[in-house]
Every structure is written in structure tokens, then in C-alpha cells.
A and B are shown apart, each in its own frame.
Chain A
């Protein structure tokens, strides 16, 4: 943490660290980093009030590149660490970030239960429909017939892609949105709104892996701003998400559940608990 000035206003640049990303030139994650730092600055946050927690993957390197508190944790466990941090330090803005492999394969169960638990944090998944860091294996969001790499089975996995937004809704997430790295300003606005919204906010950001999924360069022609207003009605959101083609960007659902933790005050002192274990 290089700065801790409580009265200053910070710019997006102040939220970037001096560590230079090792991402491939042209990787969508560069723009996501810019959107995150812009959102922090637009919200008037200070680096020492903010934390970025991740798992493992190219996208999960993001805490190293942000000048905030951070934790580059273990594969699939970012949400466990992030929720723990928020409950221990409710004063911090907690942003958890990672990839589709990290969040939906090894971390899939944490994802579902974090939606249910509804701790007040924002979860960003940089979805490139592949394991970028380990050189191109299919992830849960990969198209079932994708086999353009020796790392994929011939003919593809044959498995139906995971629908993160629909699953988030079914599991109880309180805010659901999709962004696109090719629209960094729009994505920054979505992230800022997600952070402001109470409870568990989920933002899937389509972020091309130009190395292992070169065809994703074409996303800039297919992603579109959704023409519909976000709904607060989960049944309506479910209908929309189940007919969604994966290219609609914007806020799709704003829920009104109370976030976890507010009423979960400690009911006993640690010394009392210790006493219960005394032999």
C-alpha cells in the first residue's frame, strides 16, 4: 500500500500497482483491470478501504496489479477467503475476482453457496471460456463442441455449458450483471453499481483469451448493450436469463435480500467458547 491519505480523492491510476501485468498483449483482462480501478475511483474509495481477493489463473493475478489490500489465494477458494474477509472487516469494500475455471470448476460449489449466503461483496468472473493459464483446456463455460486445441477432447467435451448468471439467480445472488472487456467504461459503471448494491453481487465479464481462443476477438461484433431494464422480479429474471444468448451486457437483476452478517453478531465471548472445550 503506497498511499493512505484519508482526505484525498483518488484516480483510477492510484489504484494500479507498479507491478506490470504478465498477460499476453491484447488479453481482455487489461481492460477489466482498468474498469475495476476506474470503478473504485468513481465511487470515491481509497486504496486502504478496498481489497481485491482472487484464486488462481491468468485473471486471478489481478490483486498484484491493484494498489489495494489483496490476497492471491488458492485455486477455487477466492470466495471463501473474500467472504471471511468481509465478515471480519465489514468496513472494507471487498471485490473477489477470478476466471471461469477458478470460479465454476474447482470453485463451483463455493460460488453456489456464496450466492445463497449473500455476504455484501462483489464477485467478478473474467470469463474467457477456457483455462488460459494452463494452456487451453475447456472450462465449464466452454462450448460443448470446442476442440480447437490438443488440450480439448476431439469433438469437444460434449457437455452443456454452465450458465453462470442463471445459476447465480437460482442460488440467490442479489445482483446479476454481464460486462464486456471491449466496453471498459460501461463495465466500470456496472462494477460500481455492483459494489454499491448490498449483498452478493455477481458480474460476469466476457474477457477474450486472444491466445487460446483467438476467435473471441470477434466478440466485439457480437456483444451488445441489453435493450431491457434490469428487473427486481426473480421470476422475470429467470425467464430472461433462460432465453439469454450470452451476448447481452448490462445489469440484469437487482434483488432486495438482506445481506448476510448484519444480524449475525457474536453471541458469546471467545473465552466462553474456550471454556466449553475445557477438559
Chain B
């Protein structure tokens, strides 16, 4: 369901910053929702990892000016907001390491979006802002990589469940 990004849709730097704040807020909300879902399903280490990400995104959002007036309706990145976790990219047995692996994918997608915007936007002001945002995003990518390196790599059979939900006859 990918629509092609519309790099000309954002006209000013202020508009871009508002959109980025909304992206960060959306990501925080999504990670918090996942933290709550994992708390509900008693995978508490994974829940804590999602909570850490949500708090990080809250801090990122606070770096941008609060919204003045209604949010712009443009979604310049096409259909999928790069900062938002794939809704189905999670598994009930996933480990904290997987959480950061997922975050890394999202941060990398966001970075490539800003890099592309810096090249393809027809507006000079937006190009310059996108260069700064890409630099900032590289910092997020490095941070997530560092966190991933601190965590134990899950064993190969991490998703094996002795009592799987969808058991088949004879199991």
C-alpha cells in the first residue's frame, strides 16, 4: 500500500518541522501502545524496551516547536510514516533486542526519507532543513545501534512456544 512520496508537498521549513514533530509524537504513541500491549501479555522486558523508545520519542518531539494551528494534512512520505513501527512487525515472544532492531529499521527509514527530501525537494528552505534533520536522525540511528549492542542477542529458537496458540491436530 505504498504511495510514492511527494517531496514537493512541504513548502516551508516551519511546515516541515511541524510535520516532524507530529511524526515523533506518532512514534511515541505507537511505541507506548506496544509497551502496554506487551505489559498486558506479560512480556515485561520487551514492554520496558518499548517504553524506553516511547520516552525517547517524547524527548525528540519536544525538540520541535509545539503545533500552532491545525496540523498540515500532507503526508509527504507517501503512505507509510517512516517513523512508525510496522503494525505487524511484532511477535508476542520477541526480546528487547528485537525491539531495538525494529526501532533501527524505523530510524533508518526516516533517515533515508530526510536524505531524499534534501535532494529532491524543489524548495531551497526545505532542502536545507532536511539536511539538518538528516544529521539529527543519524544521531538517533547511532544511539539505537549502541543500545542494541548492549543487549543479549536472542537465541535462534526465541519464537518457539511449547504451547502455541494455533496448535495443530497431533501437537
Q: A-side interface residues toward B, CB under 8 Å?
A: 13, 20-26, 28, 30-31, 135-136, 148-150, 154, 180-186, 208, 210-212, 214, 217, 220, 223-225, 249
B68 lies within 8 A of chain A by Cβ: no
What residues on B are CB-neighbors of A20 within 8 Å? 36-37, 39-40
Query: B87 near A26 (CB under 8 angstroms)?
Result: yes
- Interface positions of B from 66 to 100, Cβ below 8 Å from A: 75, 79, 81, 86-92
- Per the 8 Å Cβ criterion, residues 33-71 of B in contact with A are 33-34, 36-41, 43
A186: chain B residues at CB < 8 Å are 1, 79
Residues of A near B37 (CB, < 8 A) are: 20-21, 23-26, 30
Interface of A: prevailing SS: loop
- How far, in whole Å, are A135 and B168 apart by their CA atoms in the complex? 12
Q: Is the CB of B40 within 8 A of A136?
A: no
Given contacts A149-B166, A186-B79, are A25 and B1 in contact (CB under 8 A)? no
Q: Is B165 an interface residue, CB under 8 A from the partner?
A: yes
User: B171's contact among A13, A30, A150, A211, by CB below 8 Å, is which?
Assistant: A150
Provide the bound-state CA to CA distance between A203 and B47, in Å.
33
On chain A, the residues within 8 Å of B158 by CB distance are none
Contact partners of A21 in chain B: CB under 8 A? 36-37, 40
Which single residue of chain B is at the shortest CB-CB distance from A183?
Answer: B1
Residues of chain B from 128 to 171 with CB closer than 8 A to chain A in the complex: 165-169, 171
* Separation of A269 and B89 alpha carbons in the complex (Å): 58
Complex CA distance for A154 and B86, rounded to whole angstroms: 33
Residues of the B chain whose Cβ atoms lie less than 8 Å from the Cβ of A210: 88, 91
Q: Separation in Å of the A271 CB from the closest CB of chain B? A: 51
B1: which A residues are within 8 A, CB to CB? Answer: 180, 182-183, 186, 220, 223-225, 249
Known: A30-B33, A150-B171. A182 touches B41 (CB 8 A): no
- A24–B167 contact, CB under 8 A? no
A183 B79 Cβ-Cβ under 8 A: yes
> How far is B37's CA from A217's CA once the two chains are assembled, in angstroms?
18
Q: Is the CB of A211 within 8 A of B166?
A: yes
* Contact in complex: A220, B168 (CB < 8 Å): no
Closest to B168 in A: A150
A112 to B43, CA, bound (A): 42
Cα distance, A25 to B1, chains bound together (Å)? 22
Asked if B165 and A25 sit within 8 Å, CB to CB, the answer is: no
- Inter-chain pairs besides A21-B40, A26-B90, A186-B79, 16 sampled, C-beta below 8 Å: A20-B39, A20-B40, A21-B37, A24-B92, A25-B37, A25-B43, A26-B88, A26-B92, A28-B87, A30-B33, A31-B87, A150-B167, A150-B171, A181-B87, A210-B91, A211-B165
Please give, as numbers and ranges, the residues of chain A lying within 8 Å of B79 by CB-CB distance: 183, 185-186
Nearest A-chain residue to B73, judged by Cβ: A42
Q: Which A residues touch B3, using CB under 8 A?
A: 225
